[in-house]
């Protein structure tokens, strides 16, 4: 059975008063959107939500989830949670808005093009196991001078059959092919989303597709698209034949901006192979092989970059793709700040929400290290909203999110299930969990109404918290 975990952190009434909006740098892609009105939706049309409560509550609920890897994308997760909430709130007493969170993983390109305008270019590239896959990138900007792509469209975990999940052999060659095709269209800037990767080759395949040569101790070129394990033979790197538009000093040099988890590093005990290798199917032996191979990559890059990148923030993003992107001169941007610039999250949060529902596949000690759900919770806390997280699984260290703005969290699982069954049933589980959570909130509202009045959680005259029963408890000043 699922359980609701409640944080014990109390807040002063003054904490709930909205501060001035964050001073984030303006997006270079487009101006912030217009303020949302009740009944509107971030993407697509939206119907007003209703409540069974006997009194008008005027609740404002924002649903801002990430995707559930291999199950549902952020849009589908948001829709499922909304469906569950709507089972409970059936009168015109609440506004529910959906804000799907794209953190640079699968779907990032299409979401950004949908938000900014542009076109999607379909193409075929080498997939992570060496076979052709249908992929895509986007073009946006006034003159379509900006290319947008997500590495997952060419090397994502979804493209690796479970019977072939050996991260010592998967490659990012197709990512380099996407970039090369985009460069050949004449773009002056590439935005690449790093997330949901099925690779751990340090970006070696990407570099090879862009003309970089990886050499062994005899000066022989390593075979292209061979995976991370082959880096154990790497001795040096040559950029003499790199794509001409990526050569430093080139008149038509193209800038690269990578949206990634800057908490991920390439090497060491907290390196990407040890932290994420097992999630991609690596055995303990393979983890050690990959860790040693990425150490060699860092050593080979040092003479070219004149610095050791083994612990540079973001160097371990997407199986070490960040390291390869550093060689290409990319700017590695923390995805929370970049996504806010692109999708104007702060402009939406400042409109005052009573509750924010967020969600991700796994809530654990890694969640507070760059995951978008926690980043949004931090921002929502600044605006006085109560944040509730729904998760596929609850892992060790999940309670660290209490200090990051999440007031309560619960697993969507309601019975012992195999991973395959849980993935298959994710939509239903999210709907049911959204309903259960909303019913507990509504119970608290009903109890509060016995006192003769109800004030929404964002009323500055009171503060609120969630009790161990999952009930909203109000303390009037």
Q: What CATH number is associated with residue 72?
A: 3.40.50.10350
The segment with the largest mean pLDDT, out of 417-421, 436-440, 471-475, is 436-440
State whether 197 and 275 are in the same domain: yes
Structure tokens at 429: 């589980």
**Which residue, 336, 366, 393, sits at the end of a domain?**
336
The pLDDT, as a whole number, for residue 29 is: 60
**Which residue, 317, 336, 355, sits at the end of a domain?**
336
The pLDDT, as a whole number, for residue 19 is: 42
Helix (H, G, I), strand (E, B) or coil at 191: strand
List the domain range (segments joined by +) for residue 318.
108-336
Low-confidence winner among 89-93, 102-106, 251-255, 315-319 (lowest mean pLDDT)? 89-93
Angle 26-30-31 from CA coordinates, rounded to 5°: 60
Angle 244-248-249 from CA coordinates, rounded to 5°: 95
State whether 351 and 311 are in the same domain: no
State whether 324 and 365 are in the same domain: no
pLDDT band at 22 (very low <50, low <70, confident <90, very high): very low
The pLDDT mean for the chain works out to 85
Q: What is the pTM of this model?
A: 0.77
State whether 242 and 309 are in the same domain: yes
Q: Say how far apart CA 362 and CA 359 lie, in whole Å.
A: 9
The pLDDT, as a whole number, for residue 147 is: 98
Following CA atoms 355, 375, 1, 439 in sequence, which dihedral angle do they give, to the nearest 10 degrees? 10
- Report the domain count for the chain: 2
Q: What is the pLDDT of residues 62-117, one digit of tens each?
A: 999 998 988 898 999 999 999 999 999 866 778 999 999 888 888 999 999 988 99
Instruction: Determine the number of helices (DSSP H) and then strands (DSSP E) in the chain.
Output: 13, 16
State whether 190 and 329 are in the same domain: yes
The answer to whether residue 160 scores a pLDDT higher than 90 is: yes
Q: Output the domain CATH number for residue 211.
A: 3.90.1510.10
State whether 330 and 237 are in the same domain: yes
Q: Say how far apart CA 288 and CA 179 lie, in whole Å.
A: 30
Please give the residue that has the higher pLDDT: either 290 or 59: 290
**Which residue, 305, 336, 367, sits at the end of a domain?**
336
Low-confidence winner among 8-22, 54-68, 339-353, 448-462 (lowest mean pLDDT)? 8-22
State whether 113 and 247 are in the same domain: yes
- Strand-pair partners of 136: 122
State whether 142 and 266 are in the same domain: yes
- Closest listed residue to residue 233, CA positions, set 314, 289, 281: 289
Average pLDDT over residues 383-407: 92
The proportion of the chain whose per-residue pLDDT surpasses 90, expressed as a percent, equals 63
Structure tokens at 391: 């998760």
The pLDDT, as a whole number, for residue 257 is: 97
State whether 158 and 223 are in the same domain: yes
Please give the residue that has the higher pLDDT: either 40 or 132: 132
Low-confidence winner among 14-28, 328-342, 448-462 (lowest mean pLDDT)? 14-28
Q: Say how far apart CA 172 and CA 226 lie, in whole Å.
A: 10
Contact (CB, 8 A) for 322 and 202: no
The pLDDT, as a whole number, for residue 41 is: 45
Q: Say how far apart CA 220 and CA 35 lie, in whole Å.
A: 59
State whether 178 and 54 are in the same domain: no
Taking CA atoms, 314 is separated from 192, 254, 324, 360, in Å, by: 13, 20, 11, 21
State whether 227 and 91 are in the same domain: no
State whether 400 and 306 are in the same domain: no
- Closest listed residue to residue 76, CA positions, set 60, 98, 95: 98
């Amino acid at each position: 059975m699922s359980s609701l975990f409640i944080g014990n952190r109390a807040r002063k009434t003054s904490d709930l008063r909205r501060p001035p909006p964050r001073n984030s740098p303006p997006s270079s892609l487009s101006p912030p959107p217009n303020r949302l009105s009740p009944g509107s939706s971030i993407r697509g049309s939206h119907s007003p939500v209703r409540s069974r409560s006997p009194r008008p509550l005027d609740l404002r609920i924002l649903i801002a989830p990430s995707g559930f890897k291999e199950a549902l994308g952020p849009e589908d997760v948001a829709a499922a949670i909304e469906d569950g909430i709507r089972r409970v709130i059936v009168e015109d007493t609440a506004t529910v808005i959906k804000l799907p969170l794209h953190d640079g993983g699968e779907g990032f390109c299409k979401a950004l093009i949908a938000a900014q305008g542009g076109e999607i270019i379909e193409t075929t590239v080498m997939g992570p196991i060496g076979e052709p896959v249908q992929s895509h990138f986007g073009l946006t900007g006034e003159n379509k001078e900006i290319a947008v792509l997500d590495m997952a469209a060419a090397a994502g975990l979804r493209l690796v059959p479970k019977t072939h999940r050996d991260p010592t052999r998967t490659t990012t060659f197709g990512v380099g092919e996407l970039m090369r095709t985009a460069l050949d269209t004449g773009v002056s800037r590439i935005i690449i989303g790093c997330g949901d990767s099925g690779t751990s080759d340090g970006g070696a395949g990407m570099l090879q597709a862009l003309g970089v040569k990886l050499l062994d101790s005899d000066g022989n070129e390593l075979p292209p698209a061979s995976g991370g394990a082959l880096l154990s033979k790497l001795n040096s790197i040559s950029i003499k034949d790199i794509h001409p538009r990526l050569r430093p000093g080139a008149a038509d040099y193209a800038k690269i901006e990578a949206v990634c988890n800057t908490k991920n590093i390439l090497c060491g005990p907290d390196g990407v192979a040890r932290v994420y290798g097992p999630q991609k199917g690596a055995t303990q032996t393979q983890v050690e092989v990959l860790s040693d191979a990425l150490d060699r990559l860092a050593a080979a890059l040092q003479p070219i970059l004149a610095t050791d990148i083994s612990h540079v923030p973001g160097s371990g993003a997407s199986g070490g793709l960040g390291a390869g992107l550093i060689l290409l001169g990319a700017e590695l941007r923390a995805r929370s700040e970049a996504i806010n610039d692109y999708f104007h999250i702060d402009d939406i949060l400042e409109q005052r929400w009573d509750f924010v529902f967020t969600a991700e596949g796994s809530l654990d000690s890694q969640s507070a290290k760059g995951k978008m759900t926690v980043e949004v919770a931090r921002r929502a806390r600044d605006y006085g909203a109560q944040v509730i997280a729904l998760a596929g699984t609850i892992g060790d260290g999940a309670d660290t999110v209490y200090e990051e703005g999440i007031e309560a969290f619960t697993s969507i699982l309601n019975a012992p299930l195999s991973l395959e069954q849980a993935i298959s049933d994710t939509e239903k589980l999210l709907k049911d969990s959204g309903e259960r959570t909303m019913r507990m909130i509504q119970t608290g509202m009903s109890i509060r109404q016995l006192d003769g009045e109800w004030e929404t959680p964002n009323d500055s005259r009171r503060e609120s918290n969630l009790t161990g029963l999952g009930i909203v408890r109000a303390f009037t000043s």
